[in-house]
A and B are shown apart, each in its own frame.
Chain A
Amino acid sequence: MLLLDEPTSVLTPLEVERFFELVRDLRDQGTGIVFITHKLGEAVELADRVTVMRRGKVVATFQKDEADAKKLAEAMVGRELAPPPAKTTSPGKNVRLSVANLSTTAGRRLRDISFEIRAGEIFGIAGVDGNGQTELAEAVVGLIPAQGDLKLDGATLPAGRKRRMTLGIGYVPADRRAEGLALDLSLAENAVLGFETEHRRHGFLNPRDLRAYVGGLIDRFDIRASGPEATAGSLSGGNQQKLLFARELAHGPKALVAVNPTWGVDIGAVETIHRELLDLRKRGAAILLISNELDEIRALADRFAVLHDGRLSRPLPPDAPGEEVGLLMAGAAAEG
């Protein structure tokens, strides 16, 4: 009997295939295997039986032949899914965010990373976790020092998180509980974190103003909470993530850096977050989408590159062949 809990989150696509063979071998030798995953494709491909849980309860069980990704997704949310949002605009011509020869010495070293994101473009960064994603995100938003040239709308960005925040660089960090939100604080307080001065009146944060403000966000982002005074820690993961997005998007970023934006959230929240990201794109922001979910990058990004060992590959189209991407993720030298 073997229990596997999200075993593929740190594997490249190629490694996943080999890992699946291993799991199948074990099964054929008589091992009972419980495979917990949020990736529907994996469940469909691998499992002989798939059970869907929602809010701690079993809601459906499918045999191998009757399971497909759409059915599983609908069982997970308990309703029919809206079709995935389509991009109705193409990126503009002007470069919004440009990164040239970015290098860091702290943590996983970033080496000479360059890319440009145009207004209204989503630029994806794919790769296996731990190859410099955190460092890249933190260097761009101003949390760690870095060499290189960072420009927003042609102007060099000053150092430091606070100043870049004021200039309109939004950030959705990977770990919403430890880095994004203050779990002890109310929704209303979390909704203004970092932007407090914009909500100050006569020197004070008026609780009535904050409640009204977060009330609007609760509606727009469909955040399920007992009220604006509930603590952020009392929300489910999906609702915490929606709250985090609500805060960043409501303050009108010119550029947004989002790391694993839908990690560990329910499908309903995924829909909301993807919709809002595309909406932000339509409004002309530059979006740096760093994700370990290749499917997510393919679905949202206009172009993407692969990060491996602190180096970035050349940009690829969203429909780049899987083998090429897999090789880049495993460390094959980027051509061209």
Chain B
Amino acid sequence: MKNDIPKTSSPDVPRSAFRKISSLIPHPSSLLSLLVALLASALILRLAGYDPIASWRVMVEGAVGGRYQIADTLTKATPLILCGLGVAIAFRGGLFNIGAEGQLLAGALATAWLGGAVAWGPAGIPLVLGAAFVGGGLWGLFPALLRTERDVNEVISTLMLNFVAFWTVSWLVHGPLQEASKGYPQTEAVAAGLNLPRIWMPTRLHAGIVVAVVASLVAAVWLRYTVTGLRLRVAGGSPRTARTAGVDFRRMTWLTLFLSGGCAGLAGGVEVLGVSRRLYEQFSPGYGFMAIAVALLARLNPPFVVPAAIFFGALETGVGALQRAAGVSAGFAGVIEASVILTVVAGNAFLRHGISRA
């Protein structure tokens, strides 16, 4: 090692004030990137021969046009909040957890299995959701161990474990955990006592959204005001400084990915108790992947994960409405959705760098 001291001659250029402001008000560029995303979707709609303004109207009405639509948006936002929190925590800790989808499935599996095994009353809800957290957490702990003990890059291992989780669920619902009547490839419904209460009758909005919002507040406080949260942020943002300050990277890696996977697992548990009641093959429409976009749009900031997830929930329901409107295929609706996600994420990064360079 020849470099005992950094060799740059002016190492002390003060960072621009933008950094500081941006950490407090993280959204001007995010909002701008949403605007860019809308323009991009208009372009694609126009190229495909649709009227962008009319299409947008269909999407907005489908997402927030009435209480059923709003409730639908919030219901879809719920797993996105929890998965988004999981991704945000891992990224803050410097670990790229791409495996929220698999962790969500692990949590859903824990809840579906445990919830169907016993005739639970409502008192079982916290326990069954706790099992979902642990299930997702263990699914996240596995890549953490691969990383610390065998130096396997967590991007690869978390991504691959998504497929392992998907096919494991597929096998289980076709085999050992299939419902007794063998009618469909799905598990038995969870005990009737495990219903998450509806909180906005007559819509289907359930108490999961409350769980998710509370989780985001807990995560925010934990990251900001606890010793471990502080050490996680240092480990992620300034790893060499963390080393000097005595942070144990092995344990921090385990903890980070356990908590990250736990949040995604909780999303799966909440989804089972609040919406699906059981587990089947196409259980998640990709919440765990969309969560990466959610976390990035929220700038990895837990409180902002909530609005970011609601935006993506609205996009999901809006695109669904567009699909039901005459002449727009499911595939094309997916293209719109993907292009908005891509522009939001890319635009966010681009605008941020563009501004901070100025």
Contact = CB atoms under 8 A, between A and B. Distances in A.
B5 A175 contact: yes
Chain B interface size, under 10 / 10 to 19 / 20 to 34 / 35 or more: 20 to 34
A40 interface: no
B150 interface: no
A193 B227 contact: no
B21 to A, nearest CB: 11
B2 A130 contact: yes
A173 B238 contact: no
A186 to B, nearest CB: 9
Contacts, number: 121
A272 interface: no
B240 A260 contact: no
A233 B15 contact: yes
A114 interface: no
Interface stretch (B243-251, B266-274, B342-350): B243-251
A234 B246 contact: no
B283 to A, nearest CB: 37
Interface string A232-269: 01111110100000000000000000011001110000
Interface in B1-34: 1-7, 9, 11-12, 14-15, 17, 19-20, 23
A231 B20 CA distance: 7
Given A196-B227, A237-B11, A182 B237 contact: yes
B225 A204 contact: yes
Nearest to B11: A264
Contact of A135 (B1, B23, B238, B240): B1
A108 B6 CA distance: 17
Interface string B212-224: 0000000000000
A235 B17 CA distance: 11
B95 interface: no
Chain A interface size, under 10 / 10 to 19 / 20 to 34 / 35 or more: 35 or more
A182 B241 contact: yes
A123 interface: no
Contacts of B231: 196
Interface in A105-162: 107-108, 129-130, 133-135, 143, 160-162
B238 A165 contact: no
B277 interface: no
A234 B12 contact: no
A162 B230 contact: no
Given A129-B2, A194-B245, A231 B15 contact: yes
Contacts of A237: 11-12
A203 interface: yes
Interface centre among A178, A197, A238, A265 (most CB of B within 10 A): A178
Contacts of A233: 14-15, 19
B5 A240 contact: no
A174 interface: yes
B5 A177 contact: no
A15 B65 CA distance: 78
Given A230-B20, A260-B5, A197 B237 contact: no
B243 A234 contact: no
B140 to A, nearest CB: 24
Given A182-B237, A231-B19, A233-B19, A174 B9 contact: no
Given A184-B23, A197-B227, A235-B14, 6 more contacts: A9-B5, A185-B234, A200-B227, A207-B225, A236-B14, A292-B5
